[in-house]
Structure 1
Amino acid sequence: MEKKTNIQLTAAEMSVLWTQYINDTASVCVVSHFLQKVEDEEVRPVLEFTLDGSKKNLAFLRELFQKEKFPIPLGFTKEDVNMDASRLFSDSFSLIYLRNMSILGMAAASGAIGFSTRSDVVSFFKSVLKIAVGLQDLTRNLMLKQGTYIRPPYISVPDKVDFVGKQHFLAGFMGDKRPLTAHEITMLFNNIQTNAIGKTLIMGFAQTAKRKEVKEYFLRGKRIAQKHIDLFSDILKKEDLPAPMTWDTALTDSTVPVFSDKIMMFHISAMIAAGIGNYGASMSGSPRRDLALRYASLVPEIVLYAEDGANIMINHSWLEEPPQTDDRDQIIKKE
């Protein structure tokens, strides 16, 4: 009987394994620097947990790729981080950053489990999910202890079960708007937080980028993030709900390059992709027409921003190609 691990990898499995490898190499670079500069001894174990998890993932993936005769991606290396550079972000921000990464990691690992077929691949992503959940618990608990955790807004508990009885539930432009649903509040709150985290990260990257075009790209991203924060915050404030704070003060004034322009561009591209996904989910979960159309109006702006970033990466040979199907036309043309 053929062993299950001898079954060829599917396209879906190649995709999620390749992506996991690239992401973990980036994680090792970023978290290693955070760990090198950490001052808060309560934060240190969280960074060590994250770094250890990424290194374990990479060890498994390298062994699997070698066994499958799959080219090991380059990803990111020690050349992409300057361990001797001054600290760029505060320890409190590193916790906020890791918590956000754990949320993305849980979503990616859950999706990978659903896409995967081979038992060894499924088992691997179950372990990845366990690490992401563990990181979420560690960051949440420490942030609650240190008073840096920002809870979503509170609303009153409903008096009774009710059903939508009028089309007014969907309205958003003419006449009175209905109050926001709990889910709509959650999506607005989450999108403000992710944009705020992205803004702080991109400001730090802009301070330390070497190339002018990369620096200008990051400054453009800062403006976009602030615009989206303001738009979503205004919606919450009009409903007499609090908007989450930003973390601009979590950034030092250092201009010494910490990370390569290559890894910083990759990092922002990954966050943009996650942001587009968040806006899509927010659109589908916001029945009020004005909210859905607000999200839809913002997507083209960030898609164009993402495309311009990809072009910068292509021009500098920074964009590593993911696994692709065979180009049959080119194969046929070969003599």
Structure 2
Amino acid sequence: MASKNPISSSELGMLWLTFQEKTLILRVLEYFIEKADDQQAKNIMGGLWQELDYYVKKIKDIFKEEGAAIPVGFTSKDVNLNAPKLFDNGFDIMFLRILKEVSMGMYTINLNMSYRDDVMSLYEGLTTITQRVYKLSTLYLLDKGILTVPPHVTMPKTTDFIHEKSYLKGLFTLSEKRPLNDIELGILHHGIETNNIGMQLVTGFAQCSEDKEVKEYFVKGLDLAKQQIKLFQKTLLDSDVQFSATSGCTVTTSTIAPFSQRLMMYCVYLLNGFGLVGSGFGAMFSLRTDLALNNALVSKDIYMYAAEGIRILIKNGWMEEPPQMEDRNGLIGD
């Protein structure tokens, strides 16, 4: 067997980031499993916990082999299994499904930045797990009536190409706006669906947050999610589309935090990154100018909100520092 090449900077960075995300998900799963009443939901989450725990250990082994410090990530100190139930049944799998969406996007980037066989194999394995759990979660939520599918449309009978620049118009009057195409409709539905879950999440986090600044930050996130939902719903209504999205799940009256302030803030940090990618995708693939502009403005709002969250994380000493290059100027001196 050929000896392994030294791990590259991009691989080390991606493994470090994966460790942060996976240890966070493990802590979230531990709480949700403890509070779950539905056995099927417990089975989905319990199976995922075992598989992710295995891969977290593999990442630790790689760090050890390379002589690199093992990240702190999120530990048992970041979860309170004795805290009362913060979310009603169904939210656990709904949120898990969102986390798997985040993971699928991250693994594509992780794999693209990997060069060593064992690192690529690690991300191939994680991708397979994520796709399977995403499917299981989707089918579970549909069966329980918690998740709804986007609107059905008339099947196209012919194919055509765009010949008129008017296809792109949509900034000014309603009369110049063409009907939504199916890609745009899917992007809008997905935006409403994910923001509904985000709204429930930050409501729960704000409700049990002990830090005033952190609480206010989560409330801002709640307002931001509401604004985006209103924007997407208005666009659908203006196009005479009856929108449908997840019925969501309700937050209980508990004010006892199941997670540390640091974990809750980092969780929102991850979701902000996911939101930026989603709005960027929407801006690129929505061909009507008003839709592209709306997605660009949403990206700006998410970025500003995310930047404020990062400042709070750093201010409180909650942001673990990624591995970095040597400070050559500092070593050389003046």
TM-score (ref. length: structure 2): 0.96
Task: Verify the 8 A CA contact 1:200 1:247 in the aligned structure 2.
Answer: no
Q: 1:126/1:323 Cα in 2 relative to 1: closer, same or farther (>3 Å)? A: same
State the alpha-carbon separation in 2 of the partners of residues 253 and 237 from structure 1: 33
| 1:138-287 → structure 2 map (5 Å cutoff) | 138-174=136-172, 175-245=175-245, 249-287=249-287
Percent same amino acid among aligned pairs? 31
Tell me the secondary structure at the aligned position of residue 250 of structure 1.
coil
Report the Cα offset of residue 2 of structure 1: 4.9
Task: Verify the 8 A CA contact 1:206 1:215 in the aligned structure 2.
Answer: yes
Tell me the secondary structure at the aligned position of residue 138 of structure 1.
helix
Report the Cα offset of residue 161 of structure 1: 0.7
- Report the AA paired with residue 274 of structure 1: F
Task: Verify the 8 A CA contact 1:99 1:136 in the aligned structure 2.
Answer: yes
Report the Cα offset of residue 327 of structure 1: 2.1
- After superposition, what is the alpha-carbon deviation per residue over 1:100-151, rounded to whole angstroms, capped at 9, x for unaligned? 1112212212222222110000111111001101111211221222222211
Report the Cα offset of residue 167 of structure 1: 0.5
Pairing 1:30–2:19 present: no
Which residue of structure 2 aligns with residue 58 of structure 1? Answer: 56
State the alpha-carbon separation in 2 of the partners of residues 180 and 123 from structure 1: 41
State the alpha-carbon separation in 2 of the partners of residues 176 and 88 from structure 1: 46
State the alpha-carbon separation in 1 of the partners of residues 148 and 24 from structure 2: 27
State the alpha-carbon separation in 1 of the partners of residues 310 and 304 from structure 2: 10
Which residue of structure 2 aligns with residue 111 of structure 1? Answer: 109
Q: Which consecutive residues of structure 2, in runs of 5 or more, have no partner in the other structure?
A: none
State the alpha-carbon separation in 1 of the partners of residues 242 and 299 from structure 2: 24
Superposition RMSD on alpha carbons, in Å? 1.5
Tell me the secondary structure at the aligned position of residue 15 of structure 1.
helix
State the alpha-carbon separation in 2 of the partners of residues 2 and 135 from structure 1: 34
Report the Cα offset of residue 249 of structure 1: 4.2
TM-score (ref. length: structure 1): 0.95
State the alpha-carbon separation in 2 of the partners of residues 264 and 25 from structure 1: 13
Deviates more, 1:27-36 or 1:174-183: 174-183
Which residue of structure 1 aligns with residue 118 of structure 2? Answer: 120
State the alpha-carbon separation in 1 of the partners of residues 136 and 153 from structure 2: 27
Which residue of structure 2 aligns with residue 73 of structure 1? Answer: 71
State the alpha-carbon separation in 2 of the partners of residues 214 and 220 from structure 1: 10
Deviates more, 1:244-253 or 1:93-102: 244-253
- Report the AA paired with residue 158 of structure 1: P
State the alpha-carbon separation in 1 of the partners of residues 107 and 120 from structure 2: 10
Which residue of structure 1 aligns with residue 308 of structure 2? Answer: 308
State the alpha-carbon separation in 1 of the partners of residues 101 and 249 from structure 2: 23
Report the Cα offset of residue 159 of structure 1: 2.0
Q: 1:155/1:72 Cα in 2 relative to 1: closer, same or farther (>3 Å)? A: same
Which residue of structure 2 aligns with residue 297 of structure 1? Answer: 297
Q: 1:182/1:135 Cα in 2 relative to 1: closer, same or farther (>3 Å)? A: same
Report the Cα offset of residue 244 of structure 1: 3.3
- After superposition, what is the alpha-carbon deviation per residue over 1:27-86, rounded to whole angstroms, capped at 9, x for unaligned? 111110000111011211011022112211111111111001111110111111111010
- Residue-pair matches, total: 332
State the alpha-carbon separation in 1 of the partners of residues 301 and 137 from structure 2: 32
Which residue of structure 1 aligns with residue 133 of structure 2? Answer: 135
Task: Verify the 8 A CA contact 1:18 1:73 in the aligned structure 2.
Answer: yes
Report the Cα offset of residue 158 of structure 1: 1.2
Which residue of structure 1 aligns with residue 84 of structure 2? Answer: 86
Q: 1:132/1:276 Cα in 2 relative to 1: closer, same or farther (>3 Å)? A: same
- Report the AA paired with residue 240 of structure 1: D
Q: Which consecutive residues of structure 1, in runs of 5 or more, have no partner in the other structure?
A: none
Tell me the secondary structure at the aligned position of residue 319 of structure 1.
coil
- After superposition, what is the alpha-carbon deviation per residue over 1:150-194, rounded to whole angstroms, capped at 9, x for unaligned? 111211111201111111011112452111111111111111111
State the alpha-carbon separation in 1 of the partners of residues 101 and 296 from structure 2: 23
